[in-house]
A and B are shown apart, each in its own frame.
Chain A
Amino acid sequence: MSKEIAGFFAKNGNMKNALVLIPPSAYFKERGVDYDVPEPAVFYYYTGLKTTWVNSPVASNAGWMVIAGKGHYQIIPVTDKKVLTDSINIFKKYPLDL
């Protein structure tokens, strides 16, 4: 799934500048998506895409985020900072696991 996410940005040509907020693994599991989220450094190693976790001070700079529902995930752009802040607060309810 990490490769798919990276592939999305590679296809759109904004791999270098994108910062993607990825919620904790527990969030995905609850929504029926089996995905162990790699930490940002590991994600960058395998894909070259910069990601961030909800506990990071740079999370509020994310331009994209991955959300999930009913067994599917979606990559959406952040158009409203308030939506991003609310999303981070919701994601923070899920435990982070390395």
Chain B
Amino acid sequence: MPVLIIILLGLLQFSTGFGILVLLKIYLKPVVCISLSVLIGIAVFAIIPFLLQLLYIPLTSFAVYASIVVVCLLLNLNSGKQVLQLLYTFKHSRFRIKLYELPFLLLVCFIVFVSIWRCYYLPPTPRDLTSGPEVIAEYAVKEKTMINSVFTVDLATTNNQYKPSFITCLQIIYKYAGFPFGQVWLSVIFIFFLVFLYHALSVTLHKIIAGILMIMFISIPEMYAYTFMVLFDYSNSVFFCLSLYFLFEFFSSEKTNYIILSGILMAIATYIRSETLVLACIVYVSVLFHYWKRRNFLKPTLRSGAYFILPSLFIYLLSIVVYINWYLPSDYTIETLLNKNLLNFYSFYQRLSDMTGRLLLAGDTINYYGYFVYIFLFILCLTIFDRNLLNKTALNWLFAVFAVFIGLPFIAYLFPLYDLDNSTKRGLFKIFPLMLLFMANSPLLISLSDSIKKWEQTK
């Protein structure tokens, strides 16, 4: 029965996300389309109970699921033709796995299986979850509102009740579906993100290299742990990466619908962790670079900026400013968390130094992130010394890595509560998919892939 419910929810999530892709007229290869649709569907699910709460509609199981179905139907009013097209493509496409892919795929499947098993049977209960989103979700199911008796408890020891509603909403939906501790959605995000990444790597790289890179990525110890421990950072890194992927697709195709999708995905990332808005503003610099040498610079820059930043700004205002200030029965002013001495940049340099020295290059690097950062640097150095000119996409991904690298210390400079050992350590999850996609576009690995492909053709 639980498997059936997961499949049913997965189908609803797919349909919802697919509806958004069709509305935006974004047509992708079937596997990418399915994985992206499910991921977007989960994000839409995570907003629906929140919107119901904003309208003070009681969060009964009927209200939640009826809203989900209605949203799904509304988004798919024009999708009939595209669904048929997708089915037709599936019917006429041959699913082939080459023998050399098997070891990598089996290893990935094994690692994923362990994560799913932990997620389902032995879910960890981090304090940040049980003192915030989880306790609110638990009592929301009992009391039919997210503004519930939890806010009458002594909350002096925590600020987790003010974290965005992303996890709370998904936990409510999955608790109503019969999963007492929810969190099955985390495995869904994990699996479909891996599918998306593997495809993204395979576009430019030979499948052997793509497989090796996937194994290295999936084995980042700290990040792997968060595939079965519900907190905000893994999901945040997924949607942040997807947003940049479609932003860079926009740079190469100039199709407006790609940047609109990118903006929506960045808004989802901001909904999951509000400080992502700061990173979105830093990433926006790449939009400026993109239009820099154009004759008509200002208009497209502003228009793209509106598509990319405004959705994030809107969701930030809704989920943080409006919800916390006007709905929650407690005083919590973001201004009090801001650095009082913004002219003193010492804390920025200190965090940059600590993050690099203690988390990224030395200190606990191996414990937390394995050898992934070293492999990225190795590929980067080889590419530079080999005098291979970086293509534009690789440069974009390198800029994205840089944006997170300076963005996290900048967030810590703005909000001193953003500490090194927890927030920054987990915030760095955002950098790894970007490093991976940089490697996927590095001329060195692309030429190596081409050599393997040529050799294959001669055999």
Contact = CB atoms under 8 A, between A and B. Distances in A.
Interface of A: 19, 39-42, 44-46, 50-53, 55-59, 96, 98
Interface string B166-195: 000000000000000000000000000000
A88 to B, nearest CB: 13
Contacts of B67: none
Contact of B131 (A41, A51, A52, A59): A41
Contacts of B158: 39, 41
Contact of A44 (B135, B156, B160): B135
Contacts of B157: 39-41, 53, 55-56, 96, 98
Given A39-B157, A39-B158, A50-B153, 7 more contacts: A41-B157, A42-B135, A44-B135, A50-B154, A53-B156, A55-B156, A58-B156
Given A45-B134, A45-B135, A45-B138, A40 B155 contact: yes
Contact of B154 (A46, A53, A96): A53
A58 B150 CA distance: 15
B341 interface: no
Contacts of A98: 127, 157
A44 B134 CA distance: 11
A42 B156 contact: no
B296 interface: no
Contacts of B134: 45
B161 interface: yes
A2 B135 CA distance: 16
Contacts of B391: none
Interface in B321-376: none
The 10 closest A-B pairs by CB, nearest first: A45-B135, A41-B131, A56-B156, A52-B154, A40-B154, A39-B157, A56-B154, A44-B153, A42-B130, A45-B130
B181 to A, nearest CB: 11
Contacts of B138: 45
Contact of B160 (A41, A46, A55, A58): A41
13 contacts: A40-B157, A41-B132, A41-B153, A41-B154, A41-B157, A42-B127, A44-B153, A50-B153, A51-B154, A52-B154, A53-B156, A58-B154, A58-B156
